[in-house]
Structures are given as C-alpha cells and as structure tokens.
A and B are shown apart, each in its own frame.
Chain A
Amino acid sequence: MRIPSSRGPVSGALLELLETSPTDTHTDLVEALHERTATALRDTDDLVQDDDLQTALFLAYELRYSGLTGIHDDWEWHPAVLALCAAIEAPFERTLRERAPMPELPAPGVENVAAALFEFTGADSGPSVSRYLAKKATDEQAREFLILRSIYQLKEADPHTWAIPRLRRHAKAALVEIQADEYGGGRFDRMHAELFARTMRGVGLEAGNGHYVDVVPAITLASSNMMTMFGTHRRLRGAIAGHLAAFEMTSSQPNRLYGNGFRRLGYDKDVTFYFDEHVEADAVHEQIAARDLAGSLATDEPELLEDVFFGAAAGLYVDGLAGAQQIDAWTARASALRVAETAGLRA
C-alpha cells in the first residue's frame, strides 16, 4: 500500500520511525513515538473517532497485510511497532467493551447461540445506508460509499482468515468453508476483493489497495482496525468469529439494496455484480457462520461465549456509527469523506 499521510503527532512519529532502517536503533524516534502515544491516549476525547491514533494503528497493522511501499518489512515484528499497537489496542478494546450494547447471553449449545445471534442482529434498527443508497443517493454519494467501503473490501475476508489456525474442529472447518468462498473458490477473478475492485473501476475509481485511505474518516479506519485486532489476537478468537457472523447476518438484504441503488443510477452488471453475488453468498455464509462457526466455537470453548457476542456487538456498533455519519453528511448535502472536494478523486 502506498504510504498514507500522517494525521497528527502519533502517526507522524510512527512514519518518521518507519522511514529509518529497522536494524538501526533510533532511540530518540522510538522515545518520541512512545511519549506522543501516551499523551494522545491520555488526551483523546474518543479513541474510536481519533484520526491520529486510528491512522497510527492502521499503518502498523498494514505491515501485517500488503506492507507499506518503501518501508522495510521487518518493522512488522519490531518491538517499537508492537508496543505502539499494544498501547492503542488495550484502551480500544476496553472502549468497545464499554460502549457496544450487548444482548443477554444465551445458554450454551449450537442452536441456542445461532438463534440468539439471529435475534440480536435482526433487532439492529440503526440508520440504513443500504436503503439510502437504494432510494436517494446521488451518483457522487454512491462513489463516496465505494471509497469508504474500499478500505476493508479491497482486503475483504483477510482479517477473519487470521483466525483459521487459532480455531479447532467444527469452527475451523466452518471458517474455511466460508473463506474459501470469499476467495472465489480459488479463482482469482471470483475473489470478492477482486469483484469489488471491478466495481470501483466500473464507476471510474482507483482500485489500488489503500488508494483512498487519506480521505476516509477515523471511524472507517477503526472498523478495519477492530477486525485486525480481533483477528490477530488468539485471545480474541471468539470476537472475530462473532464479528464475522454478525457481518454476514446483516449483509444479504443490504447488498440487494446496494445493487438496486447502482442500477437506479444507471450502472450495469459490471458494477452491480459484486453486490448481487453477495446477496447469494452471504445467505449461505450467515448460516454457516452463526451455527457451524460461532455456535460450535461457543460450545467447544464455553468461556468464549461472551466474546462471540462481544465481537458481534462491536461490529454492529462501529459500523452503525460509520453508517450514521455517512447518512448525516449526505442528508446535509455534505461529503462523507474527510475532504470536501471529491472531484479531484475521479479518474
């Protein structure tokens, strides 16, 4: 990924450090990063919406995915970078646990867990970006929607794949079954991330991973960071399973509406296929995720039951905030992106 811009003292200090060689010891740069992180965490009004801290975490995490152009790959496991992640992750997780409204936990058992997840995700009555897109969105708003989605969708499925070696038995097999489909059954042109890239190109947007990071708000980075945090910590394997279940369970019908929105705006199947594919795919995935993945995991490891629902609740909470911000901006005839002029983003 090309290097995103700094958004403040922490992401700035991190970028300054990353541009040096990981084999040299830049004590001053490491100390500056450490101090600025402590200050920013102490002073932030809202870590979930903090541009600087979410950008810093996003940069550090990207080293675990496609890397950062021109930055040495050894930084991924460098103690200074891991310390930064740990410093942000602990309060980030704590904030999500405090804020995400949890349902009453069901009794253990595959069917109980699946039924409770369906009930919980079905009760989500937040503002609906999908209905807005289907009925009202302008062409420009529809492009903004794709730009915001691109942060995750161009690496679609990757954060949940981290969980595969951390699961056992039925839960592992279920996750593999879902992820194999996400990756197009092994066919490059059917990989969901690739289908999304095709949609972006179809409306004239750039489809390079991370091309639009600089224009998305902190909440969009927080949504991606949350998934990476859940996926890359074995302790949080229950949360990543619950997150995937909730994501799949709130996806089928919205994708039908997204497809309808782009059809209403005059786009053909080159653009809408991604969404139409997800109507069918996620109707399969939600069953496997709720019952065979989350239900089996919570039954095999009952101590993870609460985290399964935490992952689901946190996903709905963060993506609900992101959606509400988009709709608020659009109904006020403003841009949902960080910079007002989207004209410059068009190819």
Chain B
Amino acid sequence: MTAPETQPDAQPATRWDDQWEDHPAGAAAAADEPVSITAYPNGPLLVRGTFEILTPTGEVIPPRRKTVALCRCGVSTLKPFCDGSHKAIGFRTEQEPPEPQPPLT
C-alpha cells in the first residue's frame, strides 16, 4: 500500500448544491426546492418534493410514499389520493395548454 499522493494545487470538491446557481448551497437547499406538481393527462396530479397534505381542520395526512398522486376526477375512494378510478369513468382532461387568466377587475 502506498499513501495517496498529495496534490498541493488540488481544489476542494465542488458541492452538489453549488452546481445550480438558482438554488442556495447548504443544508437548507433540499427543503427550499420547490414542490413540483405534474398534471398527468386524463389522470391525477403527481406531487414530488417536501410537502404536507392537511385535512380541512389542519391535521397532517401522513404520506405513505415520496411521490403521491392526488385525485383529479373526484371519484377516488382514497381521496385526496388517486385510486385509479378515473379510468373506470372515462375521465378526460383538456389537451390544450391552460388559457391565460383574465385580469382581475
């Protein structure tokens, strides 16, 4: 065994968080990342990130997985989560991108 050679001009390793300029470096970075919500065509909303889902009275619904699917068709028996029922009722979402909202008057 030989000792690893020292490299006097070696730079400190780049931190993962430093790779993205718009994300702050440091321990809080993960928590500060925006939650993403993806609308799946003819299906649920998939939520990824650090989030809480609350009941109307403010109690946390414990998540059972990292990525959850939220019901969008209204007939899930597991609301707020999706149970695949949208397929049985032929739920369809609009294909075109959302219209710009009219300005508030």
Q: Which residues of chain A have a CB within 8 Å of any CB of chain B?
A: 111, 114-115, 118, 122, 177, 180-181, 185, 252-253, 256, 277, 279-284, 286-288, 291
CA A284 to CA B82, docked complex, whole Å = 8
Contact assessment for B87 and A281 in the assembled complex, using a CB-CB cutoff below 8 Å? no
Q: How many residues of B contact A (CB 8 A)?
A: 22
Contact assessment for B46 and A279 in the assembled complex, using a CB-CB cutoff below 8 Å? no
**CB nearest to A277 among chain B residues:** B64
CA A76 to CA B66, docked complex, whole Å = 35
Residues of chain A within 8 A of B68, CB atoms compared:
284
CA A210 to CA B81, docked complex, whole Å = 34
**CB nearest to A186 among chain B residues:** B66
Known: A111-B41, A115-B41, A118-B42. A181 touches B65 (CB 8 A): yes
Chain B at the A interface: SS class: loop
**CB nearest to A248 among chain B residues:** B84
Chain A at the B interface: SS class: helix
Q: Give the contacts of B34-49 with A (CB-CB under 8 A).
A: 40-44, 46
Known: A118-B87, A280-B78. A287 touches B43 (CB 8 A): yes
Question: Which of the residues A279, A286, A288 comes within 8 Å of B67, measured between beta carbons?
Answer: A288
Residues of chain B within 8 A of A122, CB atoms compared:
87
Contact assessment for B84 and A283 in the assembled complex, using a CB-CB cutoff below 8 Å? yes
Residues of chain B within 8 A of A281, CB atoms compared:
64-65
Contact assessment for A185 and B81 in the assembled complex, using a CB-CB cutoff below 8 Å? no
CB distance from A221 to the nearest CB of B (A): 29
Query: Is B50 interfacial (CB-CB < 8 Å)?
Result: no
Contact assessment for B84 and A252 in the assembled complex, using a CB-CB cutoff below 8 Å? yes
Known: A111-B41, A256-B77, A283-B44. A185 touches B66 (CB 8 A): yes
**CB nearest to B65 among chain A residues:** A181
Contact assessment for B67 and A177 in the assembled complex, using a CB-CB cutoff below 8 Å? yes
Contact assessment for B65 and A185 in the assembled complex, using a CB-CB cutoff below 8 Å? yes
CB distance from B67 to the nearest CB of A (A): 6
Q: What are 24 contact pairs spanning A and B, CB under 8 A?
A: A115-B42, A118-B87, A185-B66, A253-B83, A253-B85, A256-B83, A277-B64, A279-B78, A280-B78, A280-B82, A280-B83, A281-B65, A283-B44, A283-B76, A283-B78, A283-B81, A283-B83, A283-B84, A284-B65, A284-B68, A286-B84, A287-B44, A287-B46, A288-B46
CB distance from A178 to the nearest CB of B (A): 9
Q: Give the contacts of B57-80 with A (CB-CB under 8 A).
A: 64-69, 76-78
**CB nearest to A181 among chain B residues:** B65
Question: Which of the residues A115, A180, A279 comes within 8 Å of B83, measured between beta carbons?
Answer: A279
Question: Which of the residues A111, A118, A185, A283 comes within 8 Å of B82, measured between beta carbons?
Answer: A283
Contact assessment for A280 and B77 in the assembled complex, using a CB-CB cutoff below 8 Å? no
Across chains A and B, which 6 residue pairs bring their CB atoms closest together, nearest first? A252-B84, A283-B82, A284-B69, A283-B84, A287-B40, A279-B83
Question: Which of the residues B40, B64, B66, B87 comes within 8 Å of A280, measured between beta carbons?
Answer: B64
Residues of chain B within 8 A of A185, CB atoms compared:
65-66
CB distance from B14 to the nearest CB of A (A): 22
Residues of chain B within 8 A of A253, CB atoms compared:
83-85, 87-88
**CB nearest to B87 among chain A residues:** A122
- Residue with the highest number of chain A CB atoms closer than 10 Å, among B66, B82, B84, B85: B84
CA A122 to CA B42, docked complex, whole Å = 13
Residues of chain A within 8 A of B85, CB atoms compared:
253
Residues of chain B within 8 A of A287, CB atoms compared:
40, 43-44, 46, 69
CA A291 to CA B66, docked complex, whole Å = 18
